[in-house]
Amino acid sequence: MTIERKPIRRGGIRSAGYDTSARVLEVEFDDGSVLQYSGVGAEIARRFLSSAAPASYYKDNIEEEFPSRRIR
């Protein structure tokens, strides 16, 4: 699965993208690592991707709330 990510470049997050049909959020960090979070709802993904403080939203609503797997 290839998810197109858009640049974020704030708070240690380099880019992120969301696959609506698979409900997978992909987050790339400044260190080059990439994590995929499964079961993420479209509204949570939308709020994260449009957040003025994406790192805070990520920590509060995504990091510990959804199963993840490291892909890079």
pLDDT tens readout for residues 3-33: 999 999 999 999 999 999 999 999 999 999 9
Given a contact cutoff of 8 angstroms between Cβ atoms, the answer to whether 50 and 39 are in contact is no
Q: How far is CA 24 from CA 7, 27, 49, in A?
A: 17, 10, 13
pTM tops 0.85: yes
Coil/strand/helix, residue 9: strand
Sheet containing strand 34-38, strands side by side:
6-10, 13-19, 24-29, 34-38, 68-70
Q: How far is CA 37 from CA 18, 26, 40, 43, 58, in A?
A: 9, 6, 7, 14, 11
Question: Over 90: is that where the pLDDT of 2 sits?
Answer: no
User: What are the pLDDT digits (tens) for 33-68?
Assistant: 999 999 999 999 999 999 999 999 999 999 999 999
